[in-house]
Structure 1
Amino acid sequence: SINNTNKMALANVCGFKLGNENSYFGYNNVGQMGIPTLKDALQMSEHFTVPCGADIQASIHKALTDDDSKVKIQFDHGTTTLAFRYQNGVIVAVDSRATAGPSIESQTVKKVIEINPYLLGTMAGGAADCMFWERVLARQCRVYELRNKERISVAAASKLLANIVYDYKGMGLSMGTMIVGWDKKGPGLYYVDSDGERLSGNLFSVGSGSVYAYGILDSTHRWDMSDEEAYNLGKRAIFHATHRDAYSGGVVNLYHMKQTGWEKISQTDVTDIYYQYKAEKDKVKK
C-alpha cells in the first residue's frame, strides 16, 4: 500500500532496515515516556521518536549530499519575514508567496502564526516544519498558563522552542522563525532556527529576501518612530524585498504587538504598493 511504501522510504532515509514492524525504538530526550513499536512511531502526530542504534544525522546528511543518492528531497526555500522593536512595541511584516524551486505554488500563505493573544511566530524555511513546531509551542505555552496561572514570558517561549528543535538538530529540519510577544518586561523579539540557535535583538529579517529588507531597515529604523512611520517601514522593507527577490511576493501582512496583545494592521498587495510608491515618486519629479 501507499502507507507501507511511505514507511519503507522514511526508514531507508533514516538509515535503518524495516524488517520487523514490532522492532522497538526508544524515545529521544524530549520528555515523552514509553516504548512504541516502529509502526506506532511512524504514525504519531504530536512527537517523533529516534531509533536506537541508528545515526540519523549521518544517514540524512549522506542522503542529501551524496551525488549517487536516489533521495530527491533538496528544497529551495524563499520568503521574506521581518520584525523590529520601537518605542510603541514590535512590528512584524511578512510576504505571502510559497515556492517549490522555480514554481510559484501559492500567493496567499499565512506566514505569521498566532500562538496566543500575546505571542506571534513567523515562518521561514520549510512551511511544514515551522507550522508543526510552532503549534507544538502554542500547546506548551497553554499548558504553562494552566499550571502557573500566568502567561509565559517571551524569553521562556523562545527558549522552549529552541530546546525542542535542538533535539532534532541535523535531522533535516528547516526553520528560521522570530518569536514576538509582550510580557511583564515589555516587548520581546527573539530569533530561533532549526539548529537550536536563539538570539535576542531589536531587528531581524529572515529569508531569501532578507538582504534587501535589511537594506531598508538598517538605513531607516529608529527607536522613536511613530506608529504610522513604523507601519510604513515594515511595508516598504517587505515590498523592496519582493521587488528584487523572485521567491518573495504576494501580499504584505503587517502586525503590531502592543501591551494589549497583537493586532493585525493591514494586508496589502505588493502590486498596489508598487503603484502607490510610483505615484509618489512621479509627483515629486513634477
Structure 2
Amino acid sequence: MSGSAADCQYWERLLAKECRLYKLRNKQRISVSAASKLLCNMMLGYRGMGLSMGSMIVGWDNKGPGLYYVDDNATRLSGRMFSTGCGSSYAYGVMDSGYREDMTVEEAYELGRRGITHATHRDAYSGGVVNLYHMQEDGWIKVCK
C-alpha cells in the first residue's frame, strides 16, 4: 500500500473485515477480483474527498493468480505487474528493463529488491516499511523485510 498511513491502515482493516464476513456468509473465500472490486466500491463513495491510498490486491483463487491495483479515486486495474506510490516510476524503470517471462524465482526476488531499492533511494518520500512476499497457490511466503 502507499499513501497516508492512516488511510492505508483503515481501508486495509475494513477490507480484511469484509473478506472475513464474506467467508462466514458464503462458506468460501472471496475471489481476488471480488475483493478488489469491494475495495474499489468503498473508494467510490469517498472519491474527491482527499483520501490518500493506493493498493495492490494479490491472491490466488479458483481462477489462478490475481493482481489488481486499486486507488483512492476508485481506479481498479488488473495486470501482471504494478508498483504504487511516489517512487513507483523509479521501480517501474527497473522492472520494465529487467523483467522476463522466463525468470527464475530467485531472479524475480532480486528484480523486486532492486526496484524497491531504486524507488526508496531516488525518491525522498519513499521508504518506511518494505516487505517482499511471494504469493503461491498454497499461500504466501515472506521473502524479506
Scaled to the shorter chain, the TM-score interval is over 0.9
Counterpart check, 1:179 vs 2:65? no
Counterpart check, 1:188 vs 2:66? yes
Measure how far apart 1:223 and its partner are: 2.2
- Tell me, in whole angstroms, the C-alpha distance in 1 between the residues paired with 2:98 and 2:86: 21
The structure with the largest helix share of the pair is 2
Contact 1:235 1:252 in 2 (8 A): no
Measure how far apart 1:134 and its partner are: 1.4
The corresponding residue for 2:5 is 127
The corresponding residue for 1:17 is none
Counterpart check, 1:159 vs 2:52? no
Counterpart check, 1:217 vs 2:95? yes
String of CA shifts for 1:88-147, please: whole Å, max 9, x gaps. Answer: xxxxxxxxxxxxxxxxxxxxxxxxxxxxxxxxxxx2111111111111111110111111
Counterpart check, 1:139 vs 2:21? no
String of CA shifts for 1:191-238, please: whole Å, max 9, x gaps. Answer: 001111100011111111111111110011122211101110100111
Match of 1:237 among 89, 92, 115: 115
Letter of the 2:89 counterpart:
V
Counterpart check, 1:255 vs 2:133? yes
Measure how far apart 1:251 and its partner are: 6.1
Stretches (4+) displaced over 4 A: none
Unaligned runs of 5+ in 1: 1-122, 268-286
Letter of the 1:257 counterpart:
M
SS at match of 1:203: coil
Letter of the 2:17 counterpart:
R
The corresponding residue for 1:57 is none
Q: Give 1 or 2 for the bigger CA radius of gyration.
A: 1
SS at match of 1:207: coil
The corresponding residue for 1:280 is none
Q: How has the CA–CA distance of structure 1 residues 231 and 141 changed in structure 2, closer, same or farther, with 3 Å as cutoff?
A: same
Match of 2:28 among 146, 150, 154: 150
The corresponding residue for 1:228 is 106
Measure how far apart 1:185 and its partner are: 0.9
Letter of the 1:233 counterpart:
L
Unaligned runs of 5+ in 2: none
Letter of the 2:28 counterpart:
E
- Tell me, in whole angstroms, the C-alpha distance in 2 between the residues paired with 1:219 and 1:185: 29
The corresponding residue for 2:124 is 246
Letter of the 1:217 counterpart:
M
TM-score (norm 1): 0.49
Measure how far apart 1:249 and its partner are: 3.4
SS at match of 1:225: coil
- Tell me, in whole angstroms, the C-alpha distance in 1 between the residues paired with 2:73 and 2:121: 30
Letter of the 1:129 counterpart:
D
String of CA shifts for 1:133-187, please: whole Å, max 9, x gaps. Answer: 1111111101111111111100000000000111111112111111111111111
